[in-house]
Structure 1
Amino acid sequence: MFPQPDMPQSWRAETKPHKFCPGCGHGIVLKCLGQAIDELGLQGRTVFGCDIGCSLLSWDFFNLDSVQTHHGRTTPVMTGIKRARPELICVAYMGDGGGYSIGLQHLISAAARDEKITVVLANNTLYAMTGGQLAPTTLPGQKTETTPYGRDPEATGRPLLGPEMVAAVAGEGAYVARGSIANVRQLKGFLKKALENQMAGAGFSFVEALSACPTNWRMNAKETWRFIEEEMQGYFRTGEIKVPGAVRKEAEDGGHNS
């Protein structure tokens, strides 16, 4: 008899194994999110919204009320639900294209208004579902379908530092962090804090998760892990970027801060 996988209780077991490509980081990010929801006991009042792109394959991932939105519009949809039903926990899930390209105006506006929702963004440095083109997060020198000789920052600009940008406009009650699938314990901790920040009604919550796309990166497992830990984490620094005063004070007084 085969051993059963250890899945979060908030996952929908009948839709597993999931539809993401082998080696894709979305499954890891979503497992961390599911574990955080389980540990906080939020399954009964969480609404999950996902974007177009690879993230749309998460539409049936959870045993939660879920909605799949138009491309780039997940943030305003979840904002509308939260405003109509403030008691709900609203999670917007998207890729770097949905959050930093077509949906950037919504992300920045929601952060500036300090909307009481949680946004989770998977950063895999390119547009994965459409074939691996240049994205706002493509690294300098990285080869994609539309940068076959490597990204030239002089021609296409520098990779977007999303969490740093969000932290600059968000209010004092915002929680902003960047984690990585290379450190799942830390990533789950960041996601849990982002949900707790929404539970407290403190402010906007945003977590970027460095993710993998070996299919479009054209890398094996060893090369994929090296790219995440050395190339991506060398440019996109992981850690907490903006922490509400109450949470920071708790850490200073001896509380645990991942």
Structure 2
Amino acid sequence: MALAAQPQMPRVWRAETKPHKFCPGCGHGIILKALGEAIDALNIQERTIFGCDIGCSLLSWDFFNLDTIQTHHGRTTPVLVGMKRVRPELVVVSYMGDGGAYAIGAQHLVSSAVRNDLVTIIVVNNTQYGMTGGQMAPTTLPGQKTETTPYGRDVKLTGRPMLGPELVAAVAPPGAYVARGSIANVVQLKNFIQKGLLNQIEGRGIAFIEALSACPTNWRTNAAETWRFIEKEMAAYFPTGELRTPGEVKNGQVGEGTPDAPEH
């Protein structure tokens, strides 16, 4: 019996590649749907370039009806920055996991933020390296068990989890947009991504959005445990919300391209 109502998918999605290749319960599909809906809302499909990293994020290589490039691990952002500089009329999206962004790709992230590059970067934070078996990542929580921390992450030995948006917000010039969303609040996440795309389109500066995500396969959690971990444990350490907006006053300066900046 056919369903009376068919699910609404983004127009920019490539239908023949669905169902997608991600594991059951993975948050990537939710985040990519939010990105697709944001692209649809802004009607920028014809000029958007999507770049994905090595790792679980590479499974998005055929997700969209967009010109797409898959890069070496951690190098997605500089590749997209190069495209933007050669073709400034394009809208470029750099999509990667927390390992690609905060480990091997950390130097590119910091440099891009300092330069205030006109790119939109989306980082999926699931607290571990998903594709290679669930090892400790820069975002693994204190005490969290992984394949390489079977007794829990010891912050005295490995340091504390990386706070990516907080780092970008601290070093980026005025005009940057920085936010952290979660698959637990898809409407808010889509809003953050859409604002990030607009920040690039309007020439204000870099846009950086981290998305709290799920990996029940490597977490070895059921549905209830998965959502508790995202909504309680992850959100307690990685608070969601906007960290920087273009109208924010920083060091006595107002973000460029924002005519009605709020007073502080």
**TM-score normalised to structure 1 length:** 0.95
Determine helix, strand or coil for the equivalent of 1:143. Answer: coil
Determine helix, strand or coil for the equivalent of 1:130. Answer: coil
Which stretch has the larger CA shift, 2-11 or 187-196? 2-11
**Map of 2:84 onto structure 1:** 82
What does 1:92-131 align with in structure 2 at a 5 Å threshold? Answer: 92-131=94-133
Q: Distance in 1 between matches of 2:72 and 2:62?
A: 16
**Map of 1:35 onto structure 2:** 37
Determine helix, strand or coil for the equivalent of 2:209. Answer: strand
Deviation at 1:6, TM superposition (A): 1.2
Say whether 1:172 aligns with 2:182. Answer: no
Determine helix, strand or coil for the equivalent of 1:178. Answer: strand
Identity among equivalent positions (%) equals: 70
Q: Distance in 1 between matches of 2:261 and 2:19?
A: 38
- One-letter code aligned to 1:43: Q
**Map of 2:56 onto structure 1:** 54
Q: Distance in 2 between matches of 1:159 and 1:93?
A: 20
What does 1:192-207 align with in structure 2 at a 5 Å threshold? Answer: 192-207=194-209
Deviation at 1:248, TM superposition (A): 7.6
**Map of 2:12 onto structure 1:** 10
**Map of 1:237 onto structure 2:** 239
Which stretch has the larger CA shift, 3-12 or 64-73? 3-12
What are the superposed Cα offsets for residues 178-230 of structure 1, whole Å, 9 maximum, x if unpaired?
00000001000000000000010000100000000000000000000000000
- One-letter code aligned to 1:198: Q
Determine helix, strand or coil for the equivalent of 2:20. Answer: coil
Which stretch has the larger CA shift, 5-14 or 19-28? 5-14
Segments of 5+ residues of structure 2 without an aligned counterpart are 248-254
Segments of 5+ residues of structure 1 without an aligned counterpart are 254-258
Determine helix, strand or coil for the equivalent of 2:10. Answer: coil
* Aligned-residue RMSD, C-alpha: 1.4
What are the superposed Cα offsets for residues 95-154 of structure 1, whole Å, 9 maximum, x if unpaired?
000000011100110011111000000000000000000000000000000000000100
Deviation at 1:62, TM superposition (A): 0.4
Determine helix, strand or coil for the equivalent of 2:146. Answer: coil
